[in-house]
Amino acid sequence: MQTRAVRITGLGTDLPAGAVVVVIDVIRAFTTAAVAFDRGATDVLCAPSVAAGRAFRASHPGRLLAGEEHGVKPGDFDFGNSPAELARATLDGRGLIQATTNGTRGLVRASQATALLAAWT
């Protein structure tokens, strides 16, 4: 049996190429994404920042924009980073761009992983 090192790291740690990465968001980003899928979103694209989310939507105007910056919904976003808010939304057939202070940043920085899993607590 082959063993592998397991490391718990923060957002500032360099990740080795080809790693299997599990990003755990203990606040709300991944719960919000799960609710978006339940409400009919076709996909959720994660942006590393609010500015990047805005830029991506500028070139994909049919997508909805959800997220927060330091816990506050930006005024030009369609939704905040709120599972309760998205639970009342109808997203049937729409794509979502999500930008959060921590959760989406963690996913984006691990984009070179062999396998990337998102989990919430």
pLDDT on residue 115? 84
Cα distances (Å, whole numbers) of residue 33 to 1, 41, 53, 88, 114: 36, 9, 15, 14, 22
Instruction: Give the mean model confidence (pLDDT) for residues 50-64.
Output: 96
Residue 121: pLDDT band with limits 50, 70, 90: low
Place of tokens 């989310």: 53
What digits encode the pLDDT tens for the residues 71-106?
999 999 999 999 999 999 999 999 999 999 888 887
Q: How far apart are CA 70 and CA 15, in angstroms?
A: 24
Tokens of 19: 């790693």
**Domains of the chain in sequence order:** 22-120 (3.90.1560.10)
